A = this chain, B = another copy of it.
Amino acid sequence: MDLLTKNKVNSTPLTPLTFLDRAAIVYGDSTSILYGDSISYTWSQTHRRCLQLASSLSSLGIKKGHVVSVLSPSTPAMYELQFAVPMSGAILNNLNFRLDDKSLSVILIHSESKLVFVDILSLSLACNALDLFPENMQRPELVLIEDDTLAPHQIHALPNNTYEGLIAKGDPNFKWIRPDSEWDPITLTYTSGTTSAPKGVVHCHRAAFIVSLDSLVDWSVPNQPVYLWTLQMFHSNGWSYPWGMAVVGGTNVCTRKLDAPTIYRLIETHGVTHMCAAPVVLNILLNFNKAEPLKNTVNVLTGGSSPPAAILTRAEELGFNISHGFGMTELIGVIISCAWKRGWDRLSAVEKARLKARQGVRKAGVAEVDVVGGNGESVKRDGVTVGEIVVKGACVMLGYLKDEKATAQCLKDGWFYTGDVAVMHEDGYLEIKDRIKDVIISGGENLSSVEVEAVLYMHPAVKEAAVVARPDEFWGETPCAFVSLKDELKETPTEKEIKEFCGEKLPRFMIPKTIVFKDELPKTSTGKIQKHVLRKVAGEMGSLSLSLPPPQLLPSRI
């Protein structure tokens, strides 16, 4: 039999950029973006503005393979740039606007960025970062993104180009630059670096295309949702939903402010149906005293650390339908999610929350996910044996920019090693127990800091909790809890009370031996608690066993 294989027609590179051309036709007269009182675009406007912007980038000398950076919260400009930058052929480098100037300059130098779009509120940060460049080094050009919704700003060093200026100058009939191959890079995103120097994750057009589609299927996103940007788009490419919204012709509600009153107001005003939210945003919403039950269900996709059951229950009471997943920058969005089964609807709220707190199963577009032990073999499906999550499929990054060593460390034996520790339940759903480096080894037992934190979160007075290892001469390590308490408490609990509370729910060796109360826990700019900072604090406390009577028994699981 003659062997047929790919041809020119069916091997057109997969790219999410074609979604925007289509949205301009299908949803041309529907709302694409809403922001403040003044901005309301249609999809045909968004399409035209992106083409004009891409054309102006070309005129400025931006070429295929150049890096173009964006330093902005989730504004309309930030949304448009998710398309416009790659439409010019450039690689899109979303930057975290909460970084300090030093970190920012390191990234801009490392990425060899040619041009930086800067939100007006980040302009001085960007200028300071450029000032830190070595004298003989070419600095990227800045383009100012102004914002009419803000009070007028005094700007000391006005860049040559403004965002709207580039759009006005651009050609709406520009033929956007298609990738030569679907493996060409589309994004360069630096990890938030909770523990180490930021690494530049490179993803290709193919990954963005596939993850955009299967994320919509996985979350059952219908046509024309109203999507609120509570997630920062710089955070792992907005979990692919900037591109996904063009597929379904959604309305993107943009906002700078992420406080509870603003979010609740936007939900009500615009009839929000969907939002992605980091756990910290979910906390803000649920700890808001004046929260009233929602008029219509809002579907929330949350990732990062597992939401404690108490948080999930509270969310459902208010009318949020929480979906929970797991993703990371290296996997361009959420790639494991806790797929809900119709049969679970009948269960109790507590049981539902327990099931929902699990990260779950791979999305349909991901080839394989497993939890493996040190020998590379799948762990037992017993909900107890821990291993590392490994992933295979189109969602996996091309690699870390200019870092072959780090790339080789996580891409090996045909798998991407996530560095996250999980168990596999009997039903094939996995549940994250910890980052590998956050596991506490006490008396030879592997102890999940996340499990201890989940119990601390159940205490009615606890706002936030983080558990890290405190070195110990006898036990090796002991769990040390850092806790912040809720505001306006009538009585504040003592260290002893917290320990007793944990003792009711945890085996003895998992009870924190140390409790440290803090007003605020240190966080990264993306809202993750910085365990490496706390670990350092715990490390400096020294061994606990020296100051206590020696234990009589080795700990064991109860």
Contacts and interface: CB of A to CB of B under 8 A. Distances in A.
A354 interface: no
Nearest to A390: B9
A364 B19 contact: yes
Contact of A365 (B213, B361, B364, B416): B213
B394 A12 contact: yes
A324 to B, nearest CB: 14
Interface in A15-38: 18-19, 22, 24-30
A128 to B, nearest CB: 25
Nearest to A248: B217
Given A7-B399, A222-B220, A22 B342 contact: no
A255 B249 CA distance: 36
Contact of A185 (B4, B343, B365, B368): B4
Work out how many copies of this chain go into the complex. 2
A26 B339 contact: yes
Interface string A238-278: 00000000011100000000000000000000000000000
A525 interface: no
Given A4-B202, A14-B394, A214-B213, A9 B361 contact: no
Nearest to A391: B9
Interface of A is mostly: loop
A445 to B, nearest CB: 29
A415 interface: yes
A401 interface: yes
Interface in A379-414: 391-399, 401-402, 404, 411, 414
Most chain B CB inside 10 Å of its own CB: which residue of A18, A217, A247: A217
A223 interface: yes
A447 B204 CA distance: 47
A5 interface: yes
Interface in A409-430: 411, 414-416, 427-429
Interface string A424-453: 000111000000000000000000000000
B217 A10 contact: no
B18 A368 contact: yes
B9 A416 contact: yes
A213 B364 CA distance: 8
Contacts of A2: 401-402, 404
A534 B247 CA distance: 42
Nearest to A219: B223
Given A25-B427, A26-B341, A220-B223, A367 B5 contact: no
Given A4-B202, A25-B428, A112-B1, A341 B393 contact: no
A22 B427 CA distance: 11
A346 interface: no
A183 interface: yes
Given A30-B343, A343-B29, A364-B22, A12 B393 contact: yes
A377 to B, nearest CB: 15
A8 interface: yes
Interface of A: 1-2, 4-12, 14, 18-19, 22, 24-30, 65, 67, 112, 183, 185, 202, 204, 207, 210, 213-214, 216-217, 220, 222-224, 247-249, 339-343, 361-362, 364-365, 367-368, 391-399, 401-402, 404, 411, 414-416, 427-429
20 contacts: A1-B401, A2-B404, A5-B183, A6-B183, A9-B396, A9-B415, A10-B395, A12-B367, A12-B393, A14-B210, A25-B361, A26-B339, A26-B341, A26-B361, A27-B341, A28-B428, A210-B210, A213-B364, A217-B217, A222-B222
Closest 4 CB pairs of A and B: A25-B428, A4-B398, A10-B396, A12-B367
